[in-house]
């Protein structure tokens, strides 16, 4: 079956589909892939497993695989790594949501600055909400 979409503009995917691929990484003990990256062999193993277990269309499979590769690649930048270390695990969920919808070009990947600004905005709001929430101490 031929998959028809322009590689210069990978279609958006559902965040739950991209999240499933990220959960596979975590279950395989590679939860720090955003910080450390993955080798080509590790990518291939993940894609084989994902291709076997994913129930969507072939077009969605390819789009999710490309978006996951690009997400891990863009986190190679110092500023995104720093933001991940500063904001913690909630940044991963926000990154998956943003990576599912942001424009993606297979040649150039995600626009790192746009992703950084979106993640900073979303997680900063969450941080403020956590700081404003009253602490409840059980007696």
**pLDDT at residue number 54:** 86
Tokens describing residue 28: 């395989």
Quote the mean pLDDT of the chain.
85
- Rounded average pLDDT over 49-70: 89
- Rounded average pLDDT over 49-71: 89
**pLDDT at residue number 8:** 67
**Lowest-pLDDT range, 63-67, 91-95, 126-130?**
126-130
Long-range Cβ contact pairs of 129-133 (< 8 A, separation 24 or more): none
pLDDT 10s digits, 99-135: 999 999 888 899 999 999 999 998 887 666 655 556 5
**pLDDT at residue number 119:** 93
The CA-based angle 75-80-86, given to 5 degrees, is 130
Between residues 137 and 97, the one the model is more confident about: 97
Highest average pLDDT, of 25-34, 64-73, 117-126, comes from 64-73
Is the dihedral angle over the CA atoms 110, 3, 55, 36 positive or is it negative?
Answer: negative
**pLDDT at residue number 125:** 72
**pLDDT at residue number 32:** 86
Between residues 125 and 89, the one the model is more confident about: 89
């Amino acid at each position: 079956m031929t998959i028809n979409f322009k590689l210069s503009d990978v279609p958006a995917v559902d965040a739950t589909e991209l999240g499933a691929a990220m959960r596979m990484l975590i279950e395989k003990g590679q939860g720090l892939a955003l910080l450390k990256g993955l080798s080509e062999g590790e990518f291939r193993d993940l894609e084989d497993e994902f291709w076997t277990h994913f129930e969507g269309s072939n077009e969605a499979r390819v789009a999710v695989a490309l978006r996951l590769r690009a997400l891990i690649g863009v986190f190679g930048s110092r500023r995104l790594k720093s933001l991940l270390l500063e904001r913690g695990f909630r940044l991963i969920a926000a990154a998956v949501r943003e990576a599912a919808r942001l424009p993606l070009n297979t040649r150039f990947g995600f626009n790192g600055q746009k992703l950084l600004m979106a993640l900073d905005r979303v997680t900063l709001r969450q941080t403020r909400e956590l700081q404003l929430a009253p602490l409840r101490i059980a007696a």
